[in-house]
Structure 1
Amino acid sequence: MINRLFGTSARLVHLASQPITFSQVSKTARGLLTTMQHTLTVFGLSAVAVLALLYLNPDAAKKVSQLLHPETVAAAPASTVVAAAAPATVQDAAVETKQDKADAKYLGNSKQQQNVTSWLAKRYRVAGDAANMLVSTAYTTAHEIKLDPLLILAVMAIESGLNPFAESPMGAKGLMQVMAKVHHDKFENLGGAEAALNPVANIKVGAQILKDYVKRTGSVEGGLKTYVGAADMEDDSGYGAKVLAEYKRLKMVAGGKKVPTVTPPAPTQMVVKSAPAAQPAAAPVKAAEPVQAEPQAEALATL
């Protein structure tokens, strides 16, 4: 068959160099048709032989099928993998949902932050942009260390009144009144102890110290008492109560409730002194000397 192809090609080359006649074209066409018929016959016989071989040898047929359709073979284990992974996917989704709820607790939302920012700016007479920066930093830090942002803000409010440059006679500095000399190691990655007056650094370090104290003592009250330096004392002089009261107000503000920015003073308790007991009948009464009211009783009566 190959010799025929070469012979036909040679004749075509030979004819190309001579004038073309109808008989030559006809003869060439018949040659090409004959060659094609022989070629198709050979391919047909080869196909029949291959099919017969595959029919008689199932293993060879399976290998050929795998080579021709690899995706069909891979589909079965893939479906098994998907079926096996389905419970894990549902479990992962549940874990992610819980994580999202936890994140929402620490991050809050824009409306909550706006309410808290506006209230703190009015209560402590801080510029709106500055208050927004402090609140945003508190929320971001709270999310990082898993601590309530409103508790951080309450400590900031009681410690410094949101004054980033506040400094106590004992050397406590910044918004959360951090003792930079004592906690200098916590400032190493934030610029050193000199960064104690940096609002962001001060919030991050102060919040971490508070978180450590709460975890160590097992309660917020104990953490606040340690934070103010009264861990070995009987009481903290009302520091914890002040922070928790401010925290309660912030929670109401974050929830959309209207809370006065000025805290009314505690009501004065009225002390009523009891009347003196009646004199015995036998006791003499001096009519010439009138009984005068005690000064303390008069002062209480005028309140």
Structure 2
Amino acid sequence: MSTIEKAMEQLNRSPGNAESVKPKLQTDELSTKVKIATAYSEKIEDKEVSVSHKKQKTLFIDDARLKSLGMISLNASMSERLVRDEFRVIKQKLLKNAFGVNRQETLANNLVMVSSANPNEGKTFISINLALSIASEQDKTVLLIDADVLSPSIDECLDLGEQAGLIDYLSGEIDDVGDIIYPTSVPDLRIMPAGRAHHMSYELLSSDRMLALMQELANRYSDRIIVLDCPPLLGVVETVTLSNLIGQAVIVVEQNKTKISDVKQAVALLNSDMNIGFIVNKAVHKAGYGYGYGYGYGYGYGSKGKNK
């Protein structure tokens, strides 16, 4: 049985009942190494990213909206704290890989991509909650990037309105990356929206400018986790290209929907030395972005290099 199958089997043992769900951890086969592909490093070593420190407008995140979507909220009631507690467990492995005493100093483990094998499996829901959870840490900051540039969801989900973002920077319409990083009403959480639609959006994700940006974000802030809501892995080659510069991957698997064969195929596309985690999203779908309270999460880690 492969690492993926073992993780999925363990995660799927969790009851569908929200009150009885406990996150599971599988760490014995965790690989703590990720290598930045030499080809990409050579391309970006001479690139410079302009980052200003001018004050940017603050994006308001409505706590009531977070509650209505079943997300982590600042003023959650006792009955609403399950999701917060689950993500507290989930984030600890990511933080340990990025900042723990045994972390690899030269690796980009503070860059975390959240993806799935196929569309509509809950990756944006996971990305936002993960960012909100990390922002609650006393000594950490988090930047949430909407990198799903053809199907952006973060701005609509959080009702942020249309803002300049990643694609505007990658296309050269905006020169300073500081102009697309917005503080929010949630302390220690910043957001980089996807930006305006562009006919070469996916190609821009694998451009030299994007690769230089990832290196800059990985190295500039010693206390920051960067969470990227990425396009699905199957059928989007640019997601795979981008993953070569990222230290950790969280693969979202929807309960009773995602095929294990699709998960295997998706993971096989990633760098074999990445830290790869799996979250089984047992979401109860409602209209729009809504997720009911009958969900739960499991979490397992494994290096695809060990999948035989």
- TM category (shorter chain) comes to under 0.3
Greater helix content: 1
Q: TM-score, normalised by structure 2?
A: 0.23
Q: Which has the higher strand share?
A: 2
